[in-house]
Every structure is written in C-alpha cells, then in structure tokens.
Amino acid sequence: MRNKILFIIFVSVFISSCSNNGAGYEYMPNMYRSPSLETYGKNNFFSDSLNARKPVLGTIARGNLSSFNFDGSLEGYLLAGKEAINPYENNSDNLEEGKKLYAMFCKHCHGEYGAGGGSITHPVYSAIPHYNDDELLRRCDLPMSQLTAGHLYHAITYGLNAMGPHASQLTEKERWQIVLYVQELQKRPK
Ligand code: HEC
C-alpha cells in the first residue's frame, strides 16, 4: 500500500513536471514581467503623473560648476579681465584643441593669425581688431595684445557688436582652450 502511494506520487510529479507550460508557476508576476514605463510617459508614481524628473531648482549637475561667473555687462567684462582665471593649463593638448576650434569658429572673421583677413569680407565685419595691435580698445583702454584671459573669454562668451556670442556653440572648456590659443596669437610679431 505504502509503495503504491509513493509510486502514484512519483508518477504524478514526474508527469506534471513534463508539461509544456514553460516557466511554471510565477510567484510574483511583476518580477518576471516588469511594467515598462516610457521616459516621458505617464505613470502614477508622482503627483504630476509625469515620469521624467526635472532637476531641483538651483542645483548644478556634477562636473558643470561654471568656471566663469561674470555677466555680459561692461562691468562684468572689466571685472572678468581682472579676476577670471583660466582653469586649463597651457599645454600642447589644450593649445592644439584651441587651434582647431579657432579655425572652426573664429578664423573666417579674424583671419588665420588673428590679424584680420578672414574669408568673410562683408562691410559689417570691417572693424575686426588685430590680436597683436597696439590700438587702444574702447572697452578697457588696452590694446588687443594686452587683453587678459578674462577679457578674451568674456568676448567669446557674450560677443561684442558685430561679433555674436559663442556660449551656445562652445563648451566652457572649449572657450578656455581658444583663449589659450588666442594668447599665443597675441604674442606673435606683427
Ligand atoms: C562674424 C565674425 C566674427 C567671428 C566669427 C568672431 N569674431 Fe571676434 N570680433 C568680430 C568683430 C567685428 C569684432 C569687433 C567688435 C567691435 O569692437 O565692435 C570682434 C572682436 C573680438 C575681440 C575683442 C573684444 C574686445 O574685448 O574688444 C576678441 C577678443 C574676439 N573678437 C575674439 C574672437 C574669438 C576668439 C572668436 C572665435 C571664438 C571670434 N572672435 C569670432 C568678429 C567676429
């Protein structure tokens, strides 16, 4: 009798384990089939039922702390000229990168060596200053050759008259790399 019962249990376990049902019993179906939420889709996790979260107001993404906190005014320009410090070293990598970026973003107006003569000849851009001239600039009473890193960075970031701002096209690092390269052009003999 005992053997028969054991035999029946064995056979029923054996047969049921042979069913073609796939994965078998799911204890927690959500673990197997997690509900998928689209990044910008709706859900019931947050009160505004939107999925993607905005960063908390006033927070700054890691690695994105600005190296330059001067506004676009004349005061901002003059202050930047005195106080702004280029966080990037003058080494061959940065200079090489600055040179490439200069060729892409500045050369067509300022010329290959910053002495004008770029491919753009429209009269609107006729007053392009030379990076190594001695003429005093209206903004800070300094010749172009003596503009500091802060002046240069400010000009690239906010632009000046016919020269547009370049903050949206160039990252902070790229702007500082261009500054390093322009400082080399400032040293060139005329
Ligand atoms: C569309 C043409 C154009 C482009 C592109 C351009 N500039 Fe200029 N830039 C000018 C003109 C014109 C001026 C003179 C503005 C004035 O004094 O009214 C000028 C002025 C400057 C000055 C002097 C600002 C000052 O403090 O008086 C600097 C520095 C300068 N540019 C750097 C650059 C650099 C670096 C780039 C590339 C990222 C660049 N520019 C791209 C046209 C251009």
Write the CATH number for 124: 1.10.760.10
| pLDDT tens-place string over residues 100-114 | 999 999 999 999 988
Residue 129's contacts (CB-CB under 8 Å, 6 or more residues apart) are 116, 135, 137, 144
**56 falls within a domain:** no
Distance CA 174, CA 105 (A): 11
pLDDT at site 124? 83
Least confident span in 118-127, 150-159, 170-179: 118-127
**60 falls within a domain:** no
Question: Tokens 């491919």 map to which residue?
Answer: 119
Residue 53's contacts (CB-CB under 8 Å, 6 or more residues apart) are 46
Q: Which atom of ligand 1 has the smallest separation from the CA of 108?
A: 5
Write down how long the chain is.
Answer: 190
CA distances from 17 to 5, 14, 22, 25, 52 (A): 18, 5, 10, 11, 44
Mean pLDDT calculated for residue range 45-63: 78
pLDDT at site 13? 65
**108 falls within a domain:** yes
**49 falls within a domain:** no
**181 falls within a domain:** yes
Residue 46's contacts (CB-CB under 8 Å, 6 or more residues apart) are 53
Asked if 166 contacts 156 with a C-beta cutoff of 8 angstroms, the reply is: yes
Give the range of the structural domain holding residue 179, as residue numbers without chain letter.
Answer: 78-187
Q: Please tell me the distance between residue 106's alpha carbon and the centre of ligand 1 in angstroms.
A: 8
**20 falls within a domain:** no
Averaged pLDDT score across all residues of the chain: 86
**134 falls within a domain:** yes
| Residue 85: pLDDT over 80 | yes
**24 falls within a domain:** no
- Domain count of the fold of the chain: 1
Ligand 1 pocket, Cβ-based, cut-off 6 angstroms: 105-106, 109-110, 120, 125, 127-129, 137, 139, 147, 151-152, 155-156, 160-163, 166, 178, 182
